[in-house]
Amino acid sequence: MRRLRLLLAAFFLLAPDVLPPPPMAGAQLAPDYYADVCPDLESIVRDAVRMSVAHSPVAAPATLRLFFHDCAVRGCDASIMLINPDGDDEWRSLDGITLKPEGFNTVMSAKAAVDSDPQCRNMVSCADILALAARDAVFLSGGPDYQVELGRYDGRVSTEASVLIPHGSFDLDQLNRFFSGLGLSQADMIALSGAHTIGAASCGFFGYRVGADAAMDPAFADQLRGSCPGAAAGGFAFLDAATPLRFDNEYYRNLRAGRGLLASDQALYADARSRGAVDRYAADQGAFFRDFAAAMTRLGRVGVRTAEDGEVRRDCRFPN
């Protein structure tokens, strides 16, 4: 019960998860996969996400993180949505408790909207609805609007033991090892890290850096002390304090100024091997948007299931 309360109280923090790494897939995926069975799918999902984002500013970053978490654990199969009666599932893992309920609610609302169309009912996988919702969360926050490949099937398994995440203390080598396990490159990782332009993290994920990490701008450290007084871990700070609700390139500009909230963020600028990409995105938002969209497409191909090892769930929370 305590873990459930923590889930409901936790704020958005982008952080991936590890099993044996899921393989890249995607041969079956296509943007027009549902053109014949659910032609209005994308507009239905976008309208639902728009309503969720209007209701809560947390919905956009929470949905985006949910997609990353899903793909990074067992592949993009909506296993993160599953609820097991015995409590052994991904979202109730020690790392999963940082997921915000607004992300789950956004996907469930979009699923209900899709199924309210008789032509679409039980035809669209939860995994694809999550992929579309993540794209729309980015776009509705000011980010790029990109094509989403569709045709994923939903997984039937979700376990707490499958969840191991790269934490906010990771350095560049640790980040690269994790993303390499997903079939993604350092360039992909740096572009995807730009998702930290929206959302927030609780003090427990960065408080140890305040006043102790020379890479942190002193004025920024003073600002964070106000958010996390003393040893308290109950507060939070925005991952991008400049424009916390807008998807833009300010995240990278913050890194150049020593204003990265997480150590894993600031590591991208501290390490010479990744600094050039940070400088490029800080100077060129269009380049960031293009590379982010491409990296999200590649992420969306990780561990895709087929009709042989998956299904189209009638309820995203339970296997059929």
CA–CA distance, 314 with 318 (Å, rounded to integer): 8
Is residue 57 marked as binding? no
Is residue 55 marked as binding? no
CA–CA distance, 168 with 144 (Å, rounded to integer): 26
Is residue 265 marked as binding? no
Nearest alpha-carbon partner for 69 in 92, 44, 48: 92
CA-angle at 314, arms to 312 and 316, nearest 5°: 85
Is residue 197 marked as binding? yes
Is residue 79 marked as binding? yes
What is the identity of the amino acid at 230? Answer: G
Is 167 a known active-site residue? no
Place of tokens 């995203």: 316
Contact 13, 205 (CB under 8 A): yes
Contact 224, 232 (CB under 8 A): no
What are the backbone dihedrals phi and psi of residue 80, each rounded to the nearest 5 degrees, phi first?
-65, -20
Is residue 90 marked as binding? yes
Is residue 297 marked as binding? no
Is residue 240 marked as binding? yes
User: Which member of 65, 69, 100, 305 is catalytic?
Assistant: 69
Is residue 244 marked as binding? no
- Detail the residues annotated as belonging to a binding site: 70, 73, 75, 77, 79, 90, 166, 196-197, 240, 243, 248
Query: Mind telling me the catalytic residues?
Result: 69
- Detail the residues annotated as belonging to a binding site for substrate: 166
- Detail the residues annotated as belonging to a binding site for heme b: 196
- Detail the residues annotated as belonging to a binding site for Ca(2+): 70, 73, 75, 77, 79, 90, 197, 240, 243, 248
